[in-house]
Chains A and B, each alone.
Chain A
Amino acid sequence: MKFLIIAKKEFIDISRDRRTLFMMLAVPLLLMPVLIGTMLKITSSQAEKASEKQLKVAFIGKEYAPNLYQAFSDLDKLIILDQIPVDSVKSYIQSEYLDAAINISSDYQANIKSDSQAKIQIQYKGTDSFGAAKERINFVLDQYEKDIIEARMNRLKLKPSVVKAFNIQFDDMASKQEKFGKMAGGWLPYIFILFGFMGAMYPALDLGSGEKERGTLETILSSPASRLDVVLGKFIVIMSAAFLTAFIALAGILIGIQQISEIPPNLLELINDIFSLKIIALIMTLVFPVSAFFSAVLLGLSIYAKSFKEAQSIIAPLNIVIIFPAVIGTLPGIELNMITAMIPILNVSLASKDIIAGVMNPFYMTEVYLSLFGFAALSLFWCVRSFNKESTIFRN
Chain B
Amino acid sequence: MINVKNLVKDFSLNKKQRKEMGDKYKDSKILRAVDDVNFECKPGRIFGLLGPNGAGKTTTLRMIATMLKPTSGEITVAGYDSIEEGQEVRGQIGFMTGQTALYDRLTPTEMVKYIADLHEMDNKDFNARKDYLFDLLDMKSFADRRIARLSTGMKQKTSIARTIIHNPQVMIFDEPTSGLDVMTSRAIVNLIRSCQQEGKTVIFSTHRMGEVNQLCDDIAIIYNGKLFYNNTLDQFKSEMTQPTFEEEFIYRVGEA
Report which A residues bind B (CB closer than 8 A): 2, 5-6, 9, 12-13, 16-17, 214-216, 218-226, 390-391, 393-394
Asked whether A216 lies within 8 Å of B65 as measured between CB atoms, the reply is: no
B binding-site residues for A, Cβ under 8 Å: 11-12, 62, 65-69, 87, 90-91, 93, 95, 97, 99-106, 110, 114-115, 117-120, 146, 162, 172
The residue from B93, B102, B118 contacting A214, defined by CB atoms under 8 A apart: B102
A214-B99, A215-B97, A216-B101 known; A223-B118 Cβ under 8 A: yes
Contact indicator B105/A16 (Cβ below 8 Å): yes
Question: What is the bound-complex CA distance between A144 and B90, given in angstroms?
Answer: 92
Q: Which residues of B contact A219 (CB under 8 A)?
A: 95, 101, 115, 162
- By the criterion CB–CB under 8 Å, are A222 and B67 in contact? yes
Q: How far is the CA of A65 from the CA of B144 in the complex (A)?
A: 90
10 further A-B contacts with Cβ under 8 Å, apart from A223-B90, A224-B91, are: A12-B106, A13-B103, A218-B101, A222-B93, A222-B95, A222-B172, A223-B118, A224-B87, A224-B90, A394-B62
* A390 closest partner in B (C-beta): B68
How far does the Cβ of B218 sit from chain A's closest Cβ, in whole Å?
22
In the complex, what distance in Å separates the CA atom of A9 from the CA atom of B162? Answer: 15
Q: With a CB–CB cut-off of 8 A, which chain B residues contact A16?
A: 105, 146
With beta carbons under 8 angstroms apart, the residue of A5, A218, A226, A393 that contacts B87 is A226
CB neighbours of B97 from chain A (8 A):
215, 218
Residues on the A chain within 8 Å of B99, using CB: 214-215
- A216-B102 contact given A222-B93, A224-B90, CB 8 Å threshold: yes
In angstroms, how far is the closest chain B Cβ from the Cβ of A23? 16
Q: Jot down 23 A-B pairs with beta carbons below 8 A, ordered by A.
A: A2-B118, A9-B110, A12-B105, A12-B110, A13-B103, A13-B105, A17-B105, A214-B99, A214-B102, A214-B103, A215-B99, A216-B101, A216-B102, A218-B97, A219-B95, A221-B67, A222-B65, A222-B66, A222-B172, A223-B115, A224-B118, A224-B119, A391-B11
Q: Give the number of residue pairs across the A-B interface with Cβ within 8 Å.
A: 71
Knowing A219-B162, A222-B93, A224-B90 are in contact, say whether A5-B105 is a contact too (CB < 8 A). no
Candidate in B11, B67, B91, B93 with the most chain A CB atoms within 10 angstroms: B67
Rounded to whole angstroms, the CA-CA distance of A18 and B100 in the bound complex is: 23
Chain A nearest CB, measured from B172 CB (Å) = 8
Set of chain A residues within 8 Å of B120, measured between Cβ atoms = 224
Known A-B contacts A223-B118, A224-B120; the reply to A216 vs B103 at CB < 8 A is: yes
In the complex with contacts A222-B65, A223-B90, A5-B117 CB distance below 8 A: yes
Q: Tell me whether A223 and B119 are in contact in the complex, defined as CB-CB below 8 angstroms, given that A215-B99, A215-B100, A390-B68 are known contacts.
A: yes
Residue of A nearest to B119 (CB): A224
- Give min CB distance, A370 to chain B, whole Å: 35
In Å, the complex CA distance between A390 and B69 comes to 8
Which residues in A have their C-beta under 8 angstroms from that of B103? Answer: 9, 13, 214, 216
Shortest Cβ distance from B240 into chain A, in angstroms? Answer: 34
Which residues of A sit under 8 angstroms from B162, Cβ to Cβ? Answer: 219
Residue of A5, A214, A218, A226 touching B67 (CB-CB under 8 A): A218
Q: How far apart are the CA atoms of A120 and B92 in the complex, in Å?
A: 95
CA distance A390 to B105 in the complex (A): 28
Give the residues in chain A near B146, CB-CB below 8 Å: 16
Nearest chain A CB to B90's CB is how many angstroms away? 5
Beta-carbon nearest neighbor of A1 in chain B: B120
Cα-based distance from A219 to B104 in the complex (angstroms): 14
Residues of B within 8 A of A12 (CB): 105-106, 110
Instruction: Flag if A218 contacts B118 (CB, 8 Å).
Output: no
A181 to B68, alpha carbons, bound, how many Å?
Answer: 54
Q: How far is the CA of A218 from the CA of B120 in the complex (A)?
A: 19
Nearest-neighbour CB distance to chain B for A379, whole angstroms, equals 24
Check B101 against A222 for contact (C-beta < 8 Å): no
Tell me, in angstroms, the Cα distance from A215 to B69 when the chains sit together.
20
Q: Give chain A nearest CB distance to B255 CB in angstroms.
A: 30
